[in-house]
Amino acid sequence: MAQQRFSGLIPPMITPMTGRDRLDLVGLGRLVEHLISGGVHGLFTLGTTGEAPSLSHRLQEELVSRTVELAANRVPVLVGITDTSFVESVRLAEHAAKSGAKGLVLSTPYYFPAGQTELKYYVDQLIPELPLPVMLYNIPSLTKVWFEIQTLEELTVHPSVVGLKDSSGDLDYFQRAVGLKKLRPDWSIMIGPEALLARSLELGGDGGVAGGANLYPNLFVKLYELVRAGDPSWHGLQSQIEGLQGIYDIGKYASRFIKGTKCGASLLGICDDFMADPFHRFRAQDRQRVRDILCQVEASRVGWQLGCSVSPEQNGSLDRSDAARKSG
């Protein structure tokens, strides 16, 4: 199996929907074009931000096929295959390969937490069944299980395991994961939490899987480029990213970061903000709060373009505010 190294800015795509088990196909097309024109280095579908565990297997397959088709080999597409079922992970991986995806992303099985011995055995058994390179995905806040560093070290023996996406938010853990590149120089170690992107790159990381890039991909790509180049002007972009983080603080449940991102995409005219069951889209009051934050981000832009136009005189109303709600 020819291995591909994944690095740079690879956004975890939201899943545009217009109803239960129904993709927003027009919105998906807009989203893919928005991301690629923003300079991203790949696309990651069926991740946490994409609500993957809430989607039917049928919809997952349709989303993968459509995304690969829309990307048209301009950037690699990675597909999340995390599932409670070993067999379903293999099935989705095979579909991804047939569709033309270039890589897979695998977290720990959830619901029944596995010990590290069981987890390593699970991955050891699964990897030979998979037709594409695999990025491991550490997100213990949701799966309740870590890929512990010792386990990762033992998994470096698999040539088709090509790196790690870490969404733990623990920079000590991240730095220890970067240290595994001494064993596997070809590994990519990528960060999930976007507020930590710059620091992770300084620690030797290879890129980010930033949900906010669904809205402003060029902001995150530019930050990545500046940090890699050692240009201190990245600090100005970091403050804008920190401002954008406010959309993740609206609401009190863990779903708020997905709701905030989808609401923002709707306000920017990219796609509908319909949520997969059991979640609901933001109501008017929270939607206005997202609108206000996006307007502040847009008003603070310096030397880069967001892909949409907002001026302070508009009193918090985005130019393309609600067109996406009628798309698809």
Catalytic residue among 165, 222, 259, 262: 165
**Residues contacting residue 317 through CB under 8 Å, at least 6 positions apart:** 291, 295
Catalytic, 224? Answer no
Is residue 192 within 8 Å of residue 139, measured between CB atoms?
yes
Catalytic, 137? Answer yes
Catalytic residue among 102, 137, 216, 262: 137
Active site residues: 137, 165
